[in-house]
Structure 1
Amino acid sequence: MAEGKMLEEKLFSKHLNEEMEVIIYLPPQYSPLYKYPLFIVQDGKDYIRFGKMPKLVDELTQTNEIQKSVFAFLPYKTVEDRRRKYHPDGDQNEAYIRFLADELVPFLENLFPSFQMAGSRFLMGDSLGASVSLKACLEYPYTFGNAILHSPFVNDDLLNMTQNAKPGSLKLFHIVGDQENEVETTAHTVDNFLEPNQKLNQVVTEKGFEATFQLFQGGHRWTYWQPFLKPSLTYMLPTNTFDLESMSS
């Protein structure tokens, strides 16, 4: 089986005033003559290590179950750093979202040919990584049009932002576990993830977003998220979603 290529890049963020690491996956038979959808993945090393994403994407690409895409995996430096950037109330949350939209997207699209439209850009993450992915889509609907949410932390602000969003601007893949009513967080609290996620799904359904939601049997662990990576990718990026037109056309 042909394998994609992994690259490591760094860029300095003016919004965050720090250097950011980006691990990039290019699909098998990648060619700069064609345009590709772009996935930006929070919790990047977790998706590589626990989710086994590169191997899965190789398999799904080879079996023609998803379209060839470029993936950018964003690692977090520490648990505290992750919370500051990903949590809706984190002191770097807004700066991090500006980094995603204003700095990372142009950086990646300067390196790799893409369709340069919201519908061909995807954000994904788990827990707080899913929260910041959803919030970025809601704040920058003309930049990001899709989000894969694995058990996101959902607060009232995110619910209100979703309630006020335009339904046609966002496509969602959303899961949460039936045992996530008592989740031990990195802030050493025990939070109910289940009920707010059900409320989020209710808002999404009432608003008429293009979305799929599943309540799985399990808790707030990669053991339960990993099996949903394949359906999340095939739902978001079935083959022939985009025409991989030649850059010279």
Structure 2
Amino acid sequence: MAEGKMLEEKLFSKHLNEEMDIIIYLPPEYSPLYKYPLFIVQDGKDYVSFGKLPKYVDELTNQNQIQKAIFICLPYKTVEDRRKKYHPDGEQNEAYMRFLAHELVPYLEDAYPSFQMARSRFLMGDSLGASVSLKAALKYPFTFGNAILHSPFVNDELLDLVSKANPASLKVFHIVGDAETEVETTDNKVANFLEPNEKLHALIEQKGFESEFHLFNGGHRWKYWQPFIKTSLTFMLPTHTFDLESMGV
């Protein structure tokens, strides 16, 4: 089986005033002569280690079940750093989203061949990483057109952004567990994730977003999210997604 290639890079962010680590996954038989969708993944090392993302992407690509894509995995430095950047109320949340839209995307599109359209750019994350992925996609609809959400933290701000969004601008894959009623959060509190996620799902359906939703049996853990990695990729990246002839490329 042909395997993708992993690269490690660094990018200094003016918005965050710090150097950001970036893990790049290039698909099997990558060539700079072709264009690729871009998948930006929060909690990057977790998706590589616990989610087995490279393994599943290799498998699905080799079986021609998904289109070849470039995955950009963004690891967090500490739990505190993660909360500052990912939480909707985090002190660096707005700056982090500006980094994604105004620094990371231009950097990637200068370095790698891509379609340079919102619908060819994807954001992905779990828990708070899913929250910032959804929020960034809603606040920058001309930059990001897709969001994969594994048990996101959902608050009123996110629900309000969804209620005001153009459903044609965003495709969503969304999962949550039926046992996520008492989730320990990074600020040492306990929160009900299930109820707000059910509200989010109902709103997404009501608004008419293109979406897929799964309520799984389990809690707020990687052992429950991991089985849905392949499901999310085949939904988001079917091989006909970016037909060059229909796009006039």
Q: Give the 3-state SS of the residue equivalent to 1:242 in structure 2.
A: coil
Matched residue, 1:27: 27
Asked if 1:10 is matched to 2:5, the reply is no
Rounded to whole Å, the distance in 2 between the matches of 1:244 and 1:46 is: 33
Rounded to whole Å, the distance in 2 between the matches of 1:61 and 1:13 is: 32
Matched residue, 2:140: 140
Rounded to whole Å, the distance in 1 between the matches of 2:18 and 2:190 is: 31
Q: Give the 3-state SS of the residue equivalent to 1:124 in structure 2.
A: strand
Aligned-pair distance for 1:243? 3.0
Rounded to whole Å, the distance in 2 between the matches of 1:198 and 1:240 is: 31
Q: Give the 3-state SS of the residue equivalent to 1:16 in structure 2.
A: coil
Aligned-pair distance for 1:186? 1.3
Give runs of aligned pairs for residues 59-138 of structure 1, distance below 5 A. 59-138=59-138
How many equivalent pairs are there?
246
Rounded to whole Å, the distance in 2 between the matches of 1:131 and 1:26 is: 26
Rounded to whole Å, the distance in 1 between the matches of 2:69 and 2:240 is: 12
Q: Percent identity?
A: 76
Give runs of aligned pairs for residues 208-219 of structure 1, distance below 5 A. 208-219=208-219
Equivalent AA in structure 1 for residue 166 of structure 2: K
Contact in 2 for aligned 1:34/1:244 (Cα 8 Å): no
Matched residue, 1:234: 234
Matched residue, 2:54: 54
Matched residue, 1:157: 157
Contact in 2 for aligned 1:28/1:58 (Cα 8 Å): yes
Aligned-pair distance for 1:231? 0.5
Equivalent AA in structure 1 for residue 154 of structure 2: V
Equivalent AA in structure 2 for residue 85 of structure 1: K
Equivalent AA in structure 2 for residue 135 of structure 1: K
Equivalent AA in structure 2 for residue 72 of structure 1: I
Matched residue, 1:203: 203
Aligned-pair distance for 1:12? 0.3
Equivalent AA in structure 1 for residue 96 of structure 2: Y
Rounded to whole Å, the distance in 2 between the matches of 1:127 and 1:186 is: 11
Equivalent AA in structure 2 for residue 33 of structure 1: L
Rounded to whole Å, the distance in 1 between the matches of 2:137 and 2:240 is: 23
Rounded to whole Å, the distance in 1 between the matches of 2:244 and 2:187 is: 44
Q: Give the 3-state SS of the residue equivalent to 1:148 in structure 2.
A: strand
Rounded to whole Å, the distance in 2 between the matches of 1:244 and 1:205 is: 30
Instruction: Output the aligned Cα RMSD.
Output: 0.8
Equivalent AA in structure 2 for residue 144 of structure 1: F
Rounded to whole Å, the distance in 2 between the matches of 1:158 and 1:15 is: 22
Rounded to whole Å, the distance in 2 between the matches of 1:211 and 1:2 is: 31
Rounded to whole Å, the distance in 1 between the matches of 2:208 and 2:186 is: 33
1:24-48 deviation per Cα after TM superposition (whole angstroms, max 9, x unaligned): 0000110000000000000000000
Equivalent AA in structure 2 for residue 190 of structure 1: V
Q: Give the 3-state SS of the residue equivalent to 1:21 in structure 2.
A: strand
Rounded to whole Å, the distance in 2 between the matches of 1:117 and 1:34 is: 15
Rounded to whole Å, the distance in 2 between the matches of 1:244 and 1:25 is: 23
Rounded to whole Å, the distance in 1 between the matches of 2:184 and 2:21 is: 28
Asked if 1:45 is matched to 2:45, the reply is yes
Q: Give the 3-state SS of the residue equivalent to 1:157 in structure 2.
A: helix
Rounded to whole Å, the distance in 2 between the matches of 1:207 and 1:224 is: 28
Unmatched segments (≥5 aa) in structure 1: none
Contact in 2 for aligned 1:36/1:244 (Cα 8 Å): no
Q: Give the 3-state SS of the residue equivalent to 1:115 in structure 2.
A: coil
